[in-house]
Structure 1
Amino acid sequence: MRIHSLPTQLVNQIAAGEVVERPASVVKELVENCFDAGATQIQIDIEQGGARLIRIRDNGCGIINEDLGLALSRHATSKISSLKDLEQVASMGFRGEALPSISSVARLTLISRTENAECAWKVGADGTEKDFDPQPDPHPQGTTIEVRDLFYNTPARRKFLKSEKTEFSHIENLIKKMALSHFDIGFVLTHNQREIVNLKPASSPAEQEKRIAKICGSAFIENAVRIDFASSGLHLTGWVGLPTFSRSQPDMQFFYVNARLIKDRLVSHAVKQAYQDVLYHGRHPVFVLYLALDPKLVDVNAHPAKLEVRFREGRLVHDFLFSALHRSLAEQRPEPAQAEVLEVEAFAPPQAEAQTAVRSRTHDPRPPQQSNLPLSVEEEIKAYASLYPQTEPAIVEPAPVQSAHRQQIPPLGFAVAHIHSIYILSETPNGVILVDAHAAHERVTYERLKKQYHQGDVPTQPLLLPLKIQVSTAEADLAEQEQGFFASLGFEINRSGPETLVLRATPAILGKADMDSLVRDILADILTNGMSRRVEEKSNEILATMACHGSVRARRKLTIDEMNALLREMEQTERIGQCNHGRPTWVALSHADLDKFFMRGQ
């Protein structure tokens, strides 16, 4: 066959194949036009999941009568005029393909009125870009676009549409995502004449959080960290969920670049790296984030539906996002209660007084002091004991207060009991706190190990008697090859036979951990994942394994001093809200929570 030009309507239908996948695709293109028109209120009316009707009305600047035909023509736009404009696009739409593409597969009507016009003008289109005949209309300022009978002339594509409920759910989710990017705009969404979404403009931070709570749920805001981070011409704002508030699927991840919702592998990798130390395996973080940067630094013309972008300085953006999220998560620590002070006796803290009262009633001797905690915690115990020395009472009644001083209660309060030899119960001015002792100490140990490792100074402790460890030949080969790596971790390991290793020194912070099992676990990790990966990633995994082995074991009874020492360590440790595996380390119950349990005040 001879080469020939395609009919205009067919060209637009081909273009529609890339832009108009389903009713939600139409809604996206038209609502983005509302954004570009400067609208402050957008009404979206849907019937039969969008297959029968999509009507979108805004109160934006409108289109003058003479430009209505052009607006419905291919590659006609007011948003760019040169290649230079294309390289720094600041609007949502810019190709001029949406309206003609949509009109080629549906019955489209456009009504618009500008601010000073005597009336609005109405025009219909069928994708042929011909026979435009504008008619006057009483429409107020702004624009309304009606799209009826989607895919009526392409029945093969109409068959691919899902059920009415499914198609509308895509539209509803889309509107909610778009509403998160423009807090200054009100949105109303109806389906079959029933109002589904009604969001008023949100200008203040409190109103914005209310909108997010409506869309993402109140639990998201209650478990989110506010971010505002700027550097190198990049500005990141928004909310990220605490690692303990995660999802089984990545279905609550909203990332906007210059107010445009996008999905990008570079962004996903940066977020994943920021959460790698604190997220439970198989879980996904939640976030609503906004990245603002010079439009010249991002190419928004990389995807037909504009869902993906291309950063001109990808490494810079990646490192910036990682740093911002990593710091924000690391800075989440318990905060001290405001204007709360505690009367502290000179001879004993409140816990010691309680113990004295119990001993006076039961006549039991004081329980012996526990030991064998890792060195770092033992040091904290000594520091705590020097502040609150405990003396054995010589009489049954509690000793009178000799003197007292006022001290602000620490953020995590003071330990009261060790429940089931697992959980620390601590009293605070606002209620109580429960701490998983092993999980919390694991994070404390891990963060200290990381700091020592990256400073090149992991203190070692020689073993009084070298420990022989039986391993496989492959593991012995690996230990011999990676002797320097083990030394950087604080281990002195030598090979003494085909399947025998001799351990002569260990990291001092690990105390009396089971070194035989620990060395085996480290060798297994390296054999499984290899040493070819980035050293930093590998070292963090190894350090996490070491921290787990060196932390307080569950079922090991702790004394009051040991528990308080761990609480003080927690208050100074980054990312303390989660252990190395992403599990929560502590929870708080306020007075109000406790009152609800017992229906007090009801």
Structure 2
Amino acid sequence: PAEAADDNGRLRRLGRALGRDFPENALRLDAAREGFRVTGFAGLPTFHRGTSAGVHLAVNGRPVRDKLLLSAVRGAYADVVPSDRHPVLFLDVACDPRLVDVNVHPAKSEVRFRDPALVRGLVVSGLKAALAEAGHRATTTGGARTLEAFRAVFSGAGNAHAPMRPDLPETSAWDAPLTGFDARPQQGFADFAASSADARAHLAEPSPDALDRPLGAARAQLHETYIVAQTKAGVVIVDQHAAHERLVYERLKAERAKSGIASQPLLLPEVVELDPVDADRLNAASDDLATLGLRLEPFGPGAVLVREAPQQLAGGNLQKLVRDVADALAEHGTAGSLERRLDHVLATMACHNSVRAGRRLRPEEMDALLREMEITPNSGQCNHGRPTYVELKLSDIERLFGRR
């Protein structure tokens, strides 16, 4: 209880410095290794900003802007935050003063650790563990801000935003009795849905216990792109392509880390013609690509031969996949670690095997997607760092309609 009270107090203070939304979008971090301990609070990946002003670091309680620690933070968030955005967090590295030199910079804003690799590894692993433990959590501000925007429109000056209606003549017809109102039964919602061949919302019957789940019960699919789910506290709207892309990506990463990504030999090897530079780039990376289940061979100038493809991607458009992999290699070149470059390739592969926008899903498919999101690390954001879902609280919706 005392520790929880201390954490709540620190979060309140951090909220004053990092924004009032930070406390409800923060993850607690506490990791230790060989005389070093990292504590603090890290913002959810979807709670990011356009500058690094929200990154606050300290060593033994003294604020620093240390390059090693900043690099560790970037490395930990690299897979979940867009490259042009920055996380929001506060971290403090505690250690014996003899293990760190604080006099390497006139303003003492940088330090030199006796074992920099150990410290960097501790910060990266500690942050990644906290982010993975967060699972499907995404920032709470997206839905709230959307509702605030609606509220601003509807509560504008006077009736400036009231729906327009045509001018009607003044007549006593308003006082006449309504005729034909009971002539036939009102068309029910079920009948309406059944008779609307072009309906864009596909209704789903929720399973009895699904409302108790964090992401709720799938109720409908809108525009064959968004899944609408009902929770006990409100409504969740999921971008089906973004969510499934992340699930496939995490599945491929786990498979690679465990035993390597399984490949499937092609019955008929496929020739992919490319720009000679792209073909050379793919051939140079062929050994690394083989660990991802993609086995290529040179096939003359400006072409490669695909002999095996990742099992999960078999049957897909290999021509486009290989070209996109070549683009990913060109974009990231030799910058960063090998693992990071391969992650970019995996993200490209995941995109090719994910549920597309425009595909109609059955109710059981929608619920299965929600359930897998709940148990998959980092599923709150897509491979590009955007939210995979937003949550609208029932209390906010009720305020929007003037019920509160």
TM-score (norm 1): 0.53
1:495 deviation in Å?
A: 3.0
1:559-596 residue CA offsets vs partner (Å, 9 max, x unmatched) = 21221111111111111111111111111112212211
Q: Could you say which residue in structure 2 is the equivalent of 1:321?
A: 123
The aligned amino acid for 1:220 is F
Distance 2:355 2:241 in 1: 5
The aligned amino acid for 2:378 is R
CA contact (8 A) 1:332 1:576 kept: no
Q: Could you say which residue in structure 1 is the equivalent of 2:31?
A: 229
Q: Could you say which residue in structure 1 is the equivalent of 2:370?
A: 567
Q: Could you say which residue in structure 1 is the equivalent of 2:142?
A: none
Cα distance, 1:205–1:484 mapped onto 2, change above 3 Å: closer
1:381-422 residue CA offsets vs partner (Å, 9 max, x unmatched) = xxxxxx97xxxxxxxxxxxxxxxx867732211211111221
Equivalent residue in structure 2 for 1:358, among 190, 206, 210: 190
Q: Could you say which residue in structure 1 is the equivalent of 2:108?
A: 306
Aligned-residue sequence identity (percent) comes to 41
Q: Could you say which residue in structure 2 is the equivalent of 1:145?
A: none
Equivalent residue in structure 1 for 2:88, among 264, 275, 286: 286
The 5 A counterparts of 1:4-15 are none
Equivalent residue in structure 1 for 2:276, among 473, 493, 501: 473
The aligned amino acid for 1:224 is A
The aligned amino acid for 1:221 is P
The 5 A counterparts of 1:179-578 are 204-334=6-136, 358=190, 362=194, 409-510=212-313, 512-531=315-334, 534-578=337-381
CA contact (8 A) 1:413 1:429 kept: yes
Distance 1:434 1:327 in 2: 27
1:466 deviation in Å?
A: 3.5
Cα distance, 1:302–1:459 mapped onto 2, change above 3 Å: same
Distance 2:365 2:191 in 1: 20
Alignment RMSD (CA, Å) = 2.8
1:227 deviation in Å?
A: 1.6
1:548 deviation in Å?
A: 1.8
1:460 deviation in Å?
A: 2.2
1:511 deviation in Å?
A: 5.1
Q: Could you say which residue in structure 2 is the equivalent of 1:191?
A: none
Report the secondary structure of 2:53's partner residue.
coil
Distance 2:124 2:329 in 1: 25
Distance 1:209 1:487 in 2: 46
1:323 deviation in Å?
A: 0.6
Distance 1:260 1:323 in 2: 22
Q: Where does the alignment leave 5 or more consecutive residues of structure 2 unmatched?
A: 138-188, 200-205
Distance 1:204 1:526 in 2: 47
Distance 2:79 2:234 in 1: 29
1:257 deviation in Å?
A: 0.8
Cα distance, 1:495–1:260 mapped onto 2, change above 3 Å: same
Report the secondary structure of 2:86's partner residue.
coil
1:316 deviation in Å?
A: 0.7
Cα distance, 1:486–1:309 mapped onto 2, change above 3 Å: closer
Distance 1:288 1:238 in 2: 5
Q: Where does the alignment leave 5 or more consecutive residues of structure 1 unmatched?
A: 1-202, 336-356, 368-386, 389-404
Distance 2:369 2:118 in 1: 38
Matched pairs, number: 345
1:251 deviation in Å?
A: 1.1
1:298 deviation in Å?
A: 0.9
Greater share of helix: 2
The 5 A counterparts of 1:95-114 are none
1:205 deviation in Å?
A: 3.0
Distance 1:539 1:492 in 2: 14
Q: Which has the higher contact order (CA 8 A, sep 6+)?
A: 2
Distance 2:136 2:280 in 1: 45
1:254-297 residue CA offsets vs partner (Å, 9 max, x unmatched) = 11111101110000000000000000231111111111111111
CA contact (8 A) 1:490 1:506 kept: yes
Distance 1:236 1:555 in 2: 45
Higher gyration radius (CA): 1
The aligned amino acid for 1:590 is K
CA contact (8 A) 1:470 1:500 kept: yes
Distance 1:496 1:221 in 2: 56
Cα distance, 1:501–1:297 mapped onto 2, change above 3 Å: same
CA contact (8 A) 2:58 2:93 kept: yes
1:456 deviation in Å?
A: 3.4
